[in-house]
Structure 1
Amino acid sequence: ALVVCIAIWSLIKLIWLLMILIRYSQFKFDSTLFRAFGWFAIPIILQFVLSNGMEYVDGIIVNQYFSASDFPVFRYGSRELPITVILIVSLSSAMIPLAVKRLDSTLQELKSRTKKLMHVLFPLSIALMLTSPFIYTYVYSSDYIASAQLFNIYLLILITRILLPQVVMYARQRNGALFVMTFIELIINVSLSIWWAQSYGLVGIAHATVVANICHTLMMIVYNKVSLKVFPTRYIPFRIYSIYVILIIGAYLASTQMYSYG
């Protein structure tokens, strides 16, 4: 009932907005403005489609190379921590419009906020990495303990997810370059997933995603440094970042020794 009420209220607001626009404004197609916005927006849309399409490609690969019983194991495990994605995307979205206006001061703010976020997300991910087999066994069953291993691998994506070189590229309107890099990431991901799936099983697909994500982030960092003359030290707190990277990799290696995933 609540969902229906929200939908009805949203429809009412939309109708009211259209009535106001029809009464007080004139609709006119501006080809110049359309081209300007299209040149800016289309690469962003394509990048979004590509970055979210890998989840479906992974599903196709799993169906192709593994049994039907392996698919739910992969689906339950092949995910990042939701709060990580939400917080990092929110920070990126908040910084981009500020960076467009004043890049230098925004990068200082980005570096500070990224550091604060590291103090939250890395300890949380490390704790989950060391306890995920218990959590998966309790929430699902012992049949899904292999999902915990996949989940731990996906937690490693935080190593690059926490870095936000794309803020610089969006601020300098390098959307086309971002699209190309995302496309390259997709190619790397698909190629490694097919290769490693045959050699290492489901964990091979998970590792391929991590490696592709690392390549994508490194491409953006190098592009910022070489083409835009924005060095990574301006927006990455390397000292604390290095410590957390060592800790989370250590936690992952420890988890592989502590548990038998079957």
Structure 2
Amino acid sequence: MSFRAAIKDNFHRRWKDSVFALQFFNVMRFAAFFIVSILLVRIPLSVDQIASYEYVLFLSSIVTGWWIHGFIQGFMADGGQTKSVDKGVLFRSYSRLFFVFGTGMFAVVSGGIEVLAFYGVLSKPPTGFYFYLLFHFLLQGLILLIYYAHQKGWKKFIYLFSIYFFLIYVGSFFVLLKEGVLLDVVYRYLLVFALPVVAVWFYFYKKSEQGSPRQPFLPHVPHLTILMLIQGIGFLSVWSDGFWVQYFYGTGEVFAFFRYGGRELPFFVILTTTFSTAMIHASSTGQGLDRIKKGSQRFIRLFLPLSLILMLSSHFLFSWVYSDAFIPASFVFDLYVLLILVRVLFPRPILMAHRLFRPLLWVSVGELVINVVVSVALYWSLGVLGLILGTLAAHSFELGASLYLVRTRLRITMQRYVPVRLYLTFAITVVLAFVIKYGLFSGDWVEMLISP
């Protein structure tokens, strides 16, 4: 078989894999956000207007992302607990949980944002923010629907909705090309285009009732609550950088640089997070551990050359893709590339598969404490650099603690699911590339981001 034929055959096999379909969905989400970020610069909007959109996206992501990740992990853990679990019954239970919890969360979050804005802890939400927030809540429902399709093996459905989301999100922002149209109009369009998702969700909810008894959702609440707490703490740790940047610097120029600097990071995180979540139901078996190790090897071999190329050329890329004004954001991007070092190892799905939720909760608490303390302490001497270094320290702790739990609580050696030598080569190479780049070259704009 020729090299070209082998590549084609591998692609076809991957295309028929539901895990690959999940990764495709999440990559399309990222691609939509990324293309919109370019579109806003090219229209062009002012930096302040772009920062306004980034603030809306930032707030909506942080208040919806954490608990839906807990939902999905609970859904996958319950779905893989035994082979006798009825996927339809489970989907209906989690759908009702989503409606009850989501409605209450939307009300609490909306009130909380207004209170925090009133006291000056958060900047006041821009016009149209709540239209976008509601759209984001409906998007999380789509994610639950997508993972249900993954459990059922409906790959074409996942691909179809991936393309639908991409088209409605990017397409809605093209109305800004019409003179006089503001961002709040775009947010209204997005909400309208999200309504078909609700209709499809309701259709599958009713269809799954056929021949299956209705079961209460309360038995899922205890462990689901712990998982949402874990994810909530984890998201606070991840998104705390954005909070501190808007708190110390406001939502102007530095906040826009910070948000654009972290733009490419989700591409790495999307692939690894999707793989991690999809592997929860299988990670308690030897075959599952083998798949995790092979997944780590595949990600490292993909990310090593890609991260080096992006890091070494980031300042040129930001100038070319956006404009010269956004070159300072490349420094933030390079720092966040280092975070991929903790993303390519997967002890967490193993712990979740064995339902060690409480130890994971304490690890998450420690991660958050380290993030807040180290970030704030380093901010006063290193500015934005210090905030990001605090996040790197916290995530390193989380990875180390999770590896330790797998070794001590489950008696599974690291070599069983981690390609140790390949990982060490990856880590040393990426860190050296960062040190060499900024040891030899650093523009005046770096000073702005390391000054409190």
TM range (shorter): 0.7 to 0.9
Residue-pair matches, total: 256
Relative CO higher for 1 or 2, CA cutoff 8 Å, sep ≥ 6? 1
State the SS of the aligned residue for 2:336: helix
Deviations 1:90-145 (A, max 9, x none): 22123221123x2x222122112211221001210111010101111222333332
TM-score by length of structure 2 reads 0.52
Query: Partner of 1:61 in structure 2?
Result: 244
Query: Partner of 2:273 in structure 1?
Result: 89
Give the one of 227, 230, 233 matched to 1:50. 233
Letter in 1 for 2:292: L
Q: 1:139 to 1:105 in 2, by over 3 A?
A: same
1:26 Cα deviation (Å)?
Answer: 5.5
Whether the aligned pair in 1 keeps the contact of 2:241 and 2:388 (CA below 8 Å) is no
Give the one of 317, 322, 345 matched to 1:135. 317
Give the one of 386, 392, 395 matched to 1:210. 392
1:209 Cα deviation (Å)?
Answer: 0.9
Whether the aligned pair in 2 keeps the contact of 1:196 and 1:204 (CA below 8 Å) is yes
Q: Measure, in 1, the Cα distance between the counterparts of 2:237 and 2:227.
A: 16
Structure 2 unpaired stretches of 5+:
1-163, 169-189, 445-452
> Is the aligned partner of 1:121 residue 2:308?
no
Query: Partner of 2:360 in structure 1?
Result: 178
Q: Measure, in 2, the Cα distance between the counterparts of 1:153 and 1:23.
A: 51
Query: Partner of 1:239 in structure 2?
Result: 421
1:55 Cα deviation (Å)?
Answer: 4.8
TM-score by length of structure 1 reads 0.87
Query: Partner of 1:221 in structure 2?
Result: 403
Query: Partner of 1:166 in structure 2?
Result: 348
Whether the aligned pair in 2 keeps the contact of 1:78 and 1:206 (CA below 8 Å) is no
Query: Partner of 1:40 in structure 2?
Result: 223
- Give percent identity, aligned residues only: 25
Superposition RMSD on alpha carbons, in Å? 2.5
State the SS of the aligned residue for 2:345: coil
Deviations 1:31-69 (A, max 9, x none): xx733x223221111222222233543233223333643
> Is the aligned partner of 1:13 residue 2:195?
no
Whether the aligned pair in 1 keeps the contact of 2:241 and 2:391 (CA below 8 Å) is no
Q: Measure, in 2, the Cα distance between the counterparts of 1:184 and 1:117.
A: 27
Q: Is the deviation greater in 194-203 or in 51-60? A: 51-60
Q: Is the deviation greater in 67-76 or in 86-95? A: 67-76
Structure 1 unpaired stretches of 5+:
none
